[in-house]
Structure 1
Amino acid sequence: MHSEPLAAVLWDMDGTLVDTEPYWMAAETPLVESFGGTWSHAQALSLVGMGLEDSARILQDAGVRMGTHDIIAHLTDEVMRQLSTTGVPFRPGARELLGDLRAAGVKTALVTMSMRRMADTVVDLIDFDAFDVVVAGDESTRPKPFPDPYLQACDALGVNPDQAVAIEDSPNGLRSAVASGAATIGVPLMVSLTGAGAHALWPTLEGRTAADVASFHAAHRAKEVAR
């Protein structure tokens, strides 16, 4: 059976492309404390890769007396404020790999649970034309770990999921990408990805090229076809 070559790479944003997870944590803690609650590092880690509405409900359970959409807006504003002062904190090798994929003619999509306005802020701060498509948290039919965001990105790019590679840093994100049918690489940051279903775990993107991603995709598709 013929195996489709790599046509697209689908990137998670927070924690995968850019190291913004500390920004989210820095926004969550004072918010909870302003309502007299406490917010631990373990609680913050539990939100990594989670849809913002689900995260907001957990913050409400921790004592934040605000509506879901108000919490999302507040956190997004705080993270965007930090981005505006520090610029885009790319994860090691991410910018270089993204640029190499673009130079190789591979389609790219950003698939994030962050709001569209924040995704656009990050994309606008990248100094080259980085993405063909952006699917944000307020645009997905269902959030990660459902496959919807990645399926929407593939549909918008005009590719089948088996032609795509997804890159993720969270268990929720990996489950979403794997369920979509994309070959999936986990690059851990804040939380362990052991047992989360990644087809490969790369400790870093540093030194990785478009050829490496294409080779991974080809090997994964060959295994799938052989089953």
Structure 2
Amino acid sequence: MTSTVPQSLARTTDGSALQAVLLDMDGTLVDTEGFWWDAEVDVFGELGHRLDDSWREIVVGGPMSRSAGYLIRETGADIGLAELSVLLNERFEARIADTVPLMPGAERLLAELARNNIPTALVSASHRRVIDKIMASLGPERFALSVAGDEVPRTKPHPDPYLHAAGALGAHPSRCAVIEDTATGVAAAEAAGCRVVAVPSVGVIEAAPGRVVVRSLEDVDLSFLRSLVTPLN
């Protein structure tokens, strides 16, 4: 985990019930979910296996151990999980070496949160080495904290990453708004007790109690996020 913003930003000062905003990375802030699938297709192609397009929705948004393990089982590829994880990370990093495309509305939303001193954390199932590269494009100064999938005992869909982020920011999970793009991430945030905004990238996510589904980050601003969180009694 890394922290890049002074601890003085650990709580809001405007009386709002919203204490923090926690954001997923791939497919939520940056348009990279396709990059991961392309990397998986390339690597398995070199191993002599063709990936079925239907598997894409299954592996998206999860930890490397789950997605890579699933693809090994389905293809029968003769490769270990650790070796495959290295190859996938290297192939993905090569694809983001030049530029990382931001999702529509991401730049505006991050700027608004920073301008209003809203404690903001990046919470991803990606490894630290990948997060650090992408944060260079997002602006690391905009995040009080970042949590990587290889830095917690259990990553998404378990609640641990979001519970850690909320605790590190001094926020109650029920007063945190989480923005996610996959069912795996939504499950993690809801298990942590956070309010969730789902912006589906791959697959369908339905609205549910405590969960709002929007078309893109263009539909999300600070006023909207504040409206989702009610004060604790």
Normalising by structure 1, report the TM-score.
0.89
Are the counterparts in 1 of residues 207 and 213 from structure 2 also a CA contact under 8 Å?
no
Q: Which residue of 2 aligns with 1:214?
A: 226
- How much is the aligned-residue C-alpha RMSD, in angstroms? 1.9
In structure 1, give the amino acid aligned to 2:112: D
Counterpart pick for 1:118 among 99, 124, 130: 130
Q: Does the alignment pair 1:164 with 2:179?
A: no
In structure 2, give the amino acid aligned to 1:78: R
Q: Does the alignment pair 1:83 with 2:96?
A: yes
Counterpart pick for 1:52 among 29, 54, 64: 64
Are residues 192 and 141 of structure 1, via their aligned partners in 2, closer, same or farther at CA, if it must alter by over 3 Å? same
Q: Does the alignment pair 1:205 with 2:217?
A: yes
C-alpha displacement of 1:105: 0.9
Q: Which moved more, 1:204-213 or 1:177-186?
A: 204-213
Matches within 5 A, 1:25-104: 25-61=37-73, 62-85=75-98, 87-104=99-116
Q: Which moved more, 1:151-160 or 1:103-112?
A: 151-160
Point out where structure 1 has 5 or more consecutive residues left out of the alignment: none
Q: Which residue of 2 aligns with 1:10?
A: 22
Q: Which moved more, 1:69-78 or 1:148-157?
A: 69-78
The number of residue pairs the alignment matches comes to 218
Normalising by structure 2, report the TM-score.
0.87
Point out where structure 2 has 5 or more consecutive residues left out of the alignment: 1-14
Matches within 5 A, 1:130-141: 130-141=142-153
Q: In 2, distance between residues paired with 1:4 and 1:137?
A: 30
Are residues 126 and 4 of structure 1, via their aligned partners in 2, closer, same or farther at CA, if it must alter by over 3 Å? closer
Secondary structure of 1:5's partner? Answer: coil
Are the counterparts in 2 of residues 35 and 63 from structure 1 also a CA contact under 8 Å?
no
Q: Which moved more, 1:38-47 or 1:164-173?
A: 38-47
Secondary structure of 2:228's partner? Answer: helix
Q: In 2, distance between residues paired with 1:133 and 1:57?
A: 29
Q: Which moved more, 1:33-42 or 1:46-55?
A: 33-42
Q: In 2, distance between residues paired with 1:94 and 1:69?
A: 33
Secondary structure of 2:197's partner? Answer: strand
In structure 1, give the amino acid aligned to 2:187: R
C-alpha displacement of 1:56: 1.5
Deviations 1:4-44 (A, max 9, x none): 71111000111111110110011011211222222022112
Are residues 193 and 74 of structure 1, via their aligned partners in 2, closer, same or farther at CA, if it must alter by over 3 Å? same
Sequence identity (%): 34
Q: In 2, distance between residues paired with 1:151 and 1:17?
A: 20
